[in-house]
Chain A
Amino acid sequence: MAFVEKINKKLKKKGLNVTASEYNGAVRLTGEADSWEEVLEAGRIAAHVRGSRGVVNDCRLKGRSPETVRMPKNEDKSLEGIAPDVLVIGGGIVGAAITRELTRYAVTVAVVEKEYDVGTAQSARNDGMIHAGIDLKPDCKKVKYNVRGNKMYDALSKELDVPIERPGQLVLYTAGWQKLIFPLIKLRGLRNGIPVYPVSPRGVKEYVREPGLGFGGFMCPSAGIVSPYLMTIALMENAAHNGAKVYVDTAVTGMEVKEHKIVSVATNRGTIYPKAVVNAAGVFSDRIAEMAGDRHFTIHPRRGVEAVLDQKAYPKAKCVLGKFVISGSSGSGHTKGGGVIVSIDHNLLLGPSAKECAERENEATTREELDEVFEKQSRLAPELKRSDIITYFAGTRAATYEEDFVVEKSAVTTNFIQAAGIQSPGVTAAPAIAEDVARWAVQEVLGELRKNPSFDPVRKGIPVVREMSGETRARLIAENPDFGEIVCRCEQISKGEIIAALHTPLKVDSVDAVKRRVRAGMGRCQGGFCQPTVVRIISEELGIPPEQVTKKGAGSEVAPYPKRGSV
């Protein structure tokens, strides 16, 4: 193929010890690089080539042993022989949206997630923005699914009882001349169906008490916010309510593919025999693609760190704030630059940063990254103080070298559908991606789009005591006194809410799973006061010995040793 020659020339010119060859319609890179930066550089050189399906970067990093994958500790045969019509791999927001969408049709669905709960990786480790999409290049899959997904969120919020808000995103100019570009931005908005209007320097002050940039900007009113993990949970709960089987602690270890068709999928809990398989495996989606015989992209993890601020800082910024970034034509800068994000719970978030890293599951934060995030983003609202930070977290994005989503019915493996390489704006795009993916999967299995007549789109959330009027609260407590017993003092979460979190369609039994569902432990004391009580409630309610209650699944017992003499 002609493009291989060209790429090899470029690689040589850069002095990289890497060779390009043709593989599965894509460019495969092999060789050994001295640094991760070199691996990335080779990948970028090979990307965006006409006629190529993508980049398969098998370039090794010198001295690096193969990456270990965090695997579930359990092994059994409990899933041996099950044969769902569709198997979804990955219980993040994309997998959850697809699973729910599939239950609209007359197919049986199972989803496997290797972690102890759904939505623990990228889907929990992002800022929860429902992006407007103004910053995305026209004509890419990202913008198409983003704009469609954005519009679906209002209905989704109502059906699934998950709050969203649309405070809008204010993009601030970093220099006075930038306002001259506004007509172009407006045009781009028109082309992609994204409303946008200019905001004067004075107008900015209505949103930010003390803006750090005084040149005005523009507002994208369709930008919204949602709790990304709560939305993931809600989608999956509704899917389970409609008959989907959700298996956590279940990792895919291999596949049997015969004549371009997946015959079976091996897991740590037995072999599954699905009619169609959906790849929604996030940072591992290229590994799953390889098992299924259609790898034509590579995930290069990009880590982001976000700082969470005390709710007391909320009045300092009342909408999402971003900075105007002019994206270069080439370049490796693939972050929207982050900003100050108002979370649905009215904590401000600062971030995210964007740092390429070799490990897909490296969710550790570093001092340097946090410093960088704070220094960069607090410039937008200089009133924000370092001491407002109550916690911080990191996540890894599933970026591909094409920097676009891979949403497609496989051209190679007939019963395989990919929703891979989904990173920002994945939360926004997930519901739209799910519509297409579910249709392809159902068509593959049934040969038609037959509906499930008993599909119920409605999910009832756990009552939120702190937001109730006195009257409603009184009525609820009269019905169930547990809702009057406040356990998490910072966030005012009652025992009733914690118990309810344990009895939703997705059975959970860990402290962090409870935290993501009802916010117990998410306030300024970060669980210092309520954690021992939450452990006790889980133990009592589920009949688990207290020493076996975990923070986040097997191996993370909070207080694993009963004391001498205690029962």
Chain B
Amino acid sequence: MNYGLIVIGGGPAGLKAACSAAEKGLKVLIIEREAQLGGILKQCVHDGFGVIRFGEKLTGPEYAYRDITEVKRLGIECLTGTFVTGICDKDGGFVVETTSAQGIRSDFTEKIALATGCRERTPRQVNIHGTRPAGVLAAGACQNFVNLKGLLPGKRAVILGSGDIGLIMARRLTLEGAEVIGVYEAKATPSGLQRNIRQCLDDFGIPLHLKTTVTDVYGDKRVEAVRVSAVDDSMNPVGEGEIVECDLLVVSVGLIPENELAEKLGLQTDPATKGIAVDQYMMSAGKEGVYAVGNALHVHDLVDYVSEGAATAGADAANTRKRSLVKVGAEGLMYVVPQYVDVSDANEKKTFYMRAPRDMAVASVKLYADGELVAERKLKNVKPPEMLRIQFKFRASDSITLRLEEEE
């Protein structure tokens, strides 16, 4: 079949990108590898989704349900249980090859949106040693067992990493009757949102140990204990540490955008985001017609922003633009998305997503065009876990730089 847009991934990013493209009249196909649409939201049974977009606190499945309803209303074609095995350029568009229980199939599309989400960093990627027993799980896998499979993986849990999923799982495991001994974070500041620290740890009396990590796992068949140890400023363990008895180690140490398909298309990833570099419509800077949305592009803090970016991409897929791209410099920031801007429309308000490298009480983001300060936003209480979203309008220029400065 021929499509205007094929969206790979049926999570919140893919669903929204598909809807906004279909609204513009494109023939859209969503390809989802799991049996049901909704992506990771399916297992996020806690609330807090949609505050910005809907002005309501929804659960993950409720949030996904709204987009799925919209997908159905728009009559968008969906292939679930379908895995993309190949993707290549053809006649200015792309051929997407898939495998499913129905067999193999090959479709042509003019444009493509990668909404493949992200995967979790593994315990081994944070240098955990010792044995390899049952009871060591990535936080998302643990969440899947508890919320989708109805199984509790342990009764005495240690959580490594204060990322949002780890915090959510601390509360979830507690509610399911497990004892959560503590959350250990190697960094000096928590990795998750403030509201999650409050609602998931403080409200349940779960201690958060900063500048502390898990170094070793003990136990043959099942985890019997872990060794926790203080770390120095470069996050290397110092001293002997102490043994904490537990039967479950939940690891929530970060997410990595899944970009295997982008790599198949020969696209380089931005080392800062681990996603591909895009313009303000989320279109790849290196290849026209390829979009990346959601956590495959960069790891978001809130799903509301995932949907926002995906909507931008979907709507743009219906356009033909003559691009004039300028690289966006980032100073004093961990990263900025988009990494490039199409400066052909000076009247357009451009949205930037970025993250600060450390806590700042007062700061400002300054935008320089051709070296000249053209816009500035004051910010309060800046924290790395909370993504910054700022819109700027600026004239066409040859160089654009965003700079985050801490203020007294």
Encode contact with B along A526-566: 1 for CB under 8 Å, 0 otherwise: 11110110011000000000110011111111111111101
**Chain B CB within 8 A of A381 CB:** no
Chain B 120-161 against A: per-residue CB contact (8 Å), 1 yes, 0 no?
101011010111111001101100111011111111000000
Asked if A341 lies at the interface with its beta carbon under 8 angstroms from chain B, I say no
Within 8 A of B (CB), among A452-501: 465-466, 470, 473-474, 477-478, 481-482, 484-486, 489, 492, 494
Query: Which residue of chain A is the closest to B99 with respect to CB atoms?
Result: A484
Contact partners of B97 in chain A: CB under 8 A: 470
Number of A-B contacts (CB under 8 A): 141
Q: With an 8 A cutoff between CB atoms, is A391 at the interface?
A: yes
Contact A536–B131 (Cβ < 8 Å): no
Say if the beta carbon of A136 comes within 8 Å of chain B. Answer: no
Q: Is B131 a contact of A484 with CB atoms below 8 Å? A: no
Q: Name which residue of chain B comes closest to A561, CB basis.
A: B152
A354-386 interface bits toward B, Cβ cutoff 8 Å, 1 = contact, 0 = none: 000000000111110010000000000000000
Contact A551 B134 (CB under 8 A): yes
Q: Contact check: which of A489, A550, A557 meets B33 at CB < 8 Å?
A: A489
With both chains docked as a complex, state the minimum distance between the C-beta of A548 and any C-beta of chain B, in angstroms.
10
Take A391-B124, A477-B99 as given contacts and tell me if A562 and B150 are in contact as well, using a CB distance cutoff of 8 Å.
Answer: yes
- Which B residues are CB-close (under 8 A) to A477? 99, 101-104
Q: Is B215 an interface residue (CB 8 A)?
A: yes
Q: Chain B nearest CB: distance from A475 CB in Å?
A: 9
In chain A, what residue has the closest Cβ to B43? A532
Binds A, one of B19-27, B216-224, B277-285, B349-357: B216-224
Closest to B147 in A: A563
> Known interface pairs A390-B122, A481-B102, A528-B140. Does A554 touch B85 (Cβ–Cβ under 8 Å)?
no
B81 within 8 A of A: yes
A-chain residues with CB within 8 Å of residue B33 when the two chains form the complex = 486, 489
Asked whether any CB of chain A lies closer than 8 Å to the CB of B266, the reply is no
B81 touches A485 (CB 8 A): yes
In the complex the two chains form, is A536's CB within 8 Å of B83's CB? no
When distances are taken between beta carbons in the complex, the residues of chain A under 8 Å from B132 are 363, 393
- A364 touching B151 in the complex, CB below 8 Å, given contacts A478-B103, A532-B145, A563-B176: no
Q: Are A560 and B153 in contact (CB under 8 A)?
A: yes
A3 at the binding interface (Cβ < 8 Å): no
Task: Count residues of B near A (Cβ-Cβ below 8 Å).
Answer: 47
- The answer to whether B134 touches A557 (Cβ under 8 A) is yes
User: Are A528 and B120 touching (Cβ within 8 A)?
Assistant: yes
Bound CA–CA A389/B129 (angstroms) = 13
| A465 CB, nearest partner CB in chain B, Å | 7
Q: A477-B101, A528-B141 are in contact. Are A550 and B119 (CB under 8 A)?
A: no
B119 and A524 contact, CB distance less than 8 A: yes
Q: Which residues of A contact B69 (CB under 8 A)?
A: none
Residues of A within 8 A of B286 (CB): none
Please determine whether B149 and A532 come into contact, CB atoms closer than 8 angstroms. Answer: yes
A492/B222 in contact, CB under 8 A: no
Q: Which residues of A contact B137 (CB under 8 A)?
A: 531
CB-CB < 8 A to A529: which residues of B?
119, 140-141
Question: Size class of A's contact patch?
Answer: 35 or more
CA distance A364 to B141 in the complex (A): 23
A466 to B84, CA, bound (A): 12
Q: Is B177 located at the chain interface by the 8 A CB criterion?
A: yes
CA gap between A347 and B375 in the complex, in Å: 49
**A562 near B152: Cβ-Cβ < 8 Å:** yes
Contact across chains for B134 and A552 when beta carbons are under 8 A apart? yes
Question: Across the interface, which residues of A come within 8 angstroms of B102, CB to CB?
Answer: 477, 481, 484
Verify if A82 is at the interface (C-beta below 8 Å from B).
Answer: no
Verify B99–A486 contact, CB threshold 8 A. yes
Instruction: Identify which of B33, B145, B176, B263 gathers the most chain A CB atoms within 10 Å of its CB.
Output: B145
Contact indicator B122/A391 (Cβ below 8 Å): yes
Inter-chain contact B124/A389, CB cutoff 8 Å:
yes
User: What are the residues of chain A within 8 A of B347 when measuring CB–CB?
Assistant: none
Docked-complex contact A558 and B215, CB < 8 angstroms: no
- By the criterion CB–CB under 8 Å, are A559 and B151 in contact? yes
Point out the residues of chain B lying under 8 angstroms from A551, CB to CB.
Answer: 133-134, 221
Which residue from A390, A482, A528, A561 sits with its C-beta under 8 Å from B101? A482
Contacting pair B134 A550 (CB below 8 A): yes
A70 within 8 A of B: yes
Is the CB of A257 closer than 8 A to any CB of chain B?
Answer: no
Given contacts A367-B129, A484-B101, A552-B134, contact A546 B221 (CB under 8 A): no
Partner of B129, one of A312, A364, A559: A364
* Residues of chain A within 8 A of B151, CB atoms compared: 546-547, 558-563, 566
Q: Does residue A190 face the partner (Cβ distance < 8 Å to B)?
A: no
Residues in B neighbouring A558, C-beta threshold 8 A: 134, 145, 151, 153
B141 contact set on A, CB distance < 8 A: 527-529, 531-532
A392, CB-defined interface residue at 8 Å: yes
Cβ–Cβ < 8 Å partners of B2 in chain A: none
Chain B nearest Cβ from A387, distance in angstroms: 8
A446: CB under 8 A from chain B? Answer: no
Extra contacts, 13 of them, besides A535-B149, A560-B151 (Cβ < 8 A), are A366-B129, A367-B215, A474-B103, A477-B104, A484-B103, A485-B101, A528-B119, A546-B149, A551-B134, A557-B222, A563-B150, A564-B177, A566-B151
17 inter-chain pairs at a CB distance below 8 angstroms, sorted by A residue, are A366-B129, A367-B127, A389-B124, A391-B124, A473-B99, A482-B101, A484-B101, A486-B99, A525-B122, A526-B122, A527-B141, A531-B137, A552-B221, A558-B153, A560-B154, A563-B146, A563-B151
**Nearest 3 CB-CB pairs, A to B?**
A566-B150, A559-B151, A555-B221
